[in-house]
Amino acid sequence: MFDEEIPTDQARVLAELVDTALAEEWAEGEAVMALLWQSSDNPGDVRLAVKRLDGCVEEEVAPLIDGGSYLAVAHSIVTRRPPPELMPGAAIEPVRITVAVDHQSESGVLRHRTGTTEWFGAVELPVTRLIRSLLWLEPAGREAS
């Protein structure tokens, strides 16, 4: 009866989890990444690791490149200069941008200091393209460029 597998938007779930966990942290420029992976053949054996980035994304991700075993990856940062695709012009107060990608989708949330959030979907941000290319998270049907 309950054996049917229901697909989950892992990117959306991971973005929400990371955004909620960091909702009270407003230090500008301190990026955080989260990795979600299945560590065995058991579908319930899912692991999550969260790390503050000491260097650039490429340096931090390089040791993790293993051929695409990650289910989803998230990146979160506080900035006053959000990409124009998300928010035209500079933010008056810092905003937290959290994006997550999986093999099928990408999702993100823009959090304001007031606590309000704005969800967004497939916006082509440099950090999402970089994470996809480094960790082999190209969605089905899209070839790497």
Question: What is the per-residue pLDDT for 111?
Answer: 94
Per residue in 31-66, pLDDT (tens digit) is 999 988 887 778 778 888 898 988 888 888 777 776
How would you classify the pairing of strands 95-102 and 70-79? antiparallel
Q: Would residue 124 be called left, alpha or beta, if left means φ above 0 and alpha means ψ between -120 and 50 degrees?
A: beta
pLDDT score at 142: 45
- Contact between residue 71 and residue 49 where contact means Cβ atoms under 8 Å apart: no
Categorize the per-residue pLDDT at 71 as very low, low, confident or very high, splitting at 50, 70 and 90. confident
Tokens 């319930």 correspond to what residue? Answer: 44
pTM comes to 0.81
Angle at 107 between CA 20 and CA 67, to 5 degrees: 105
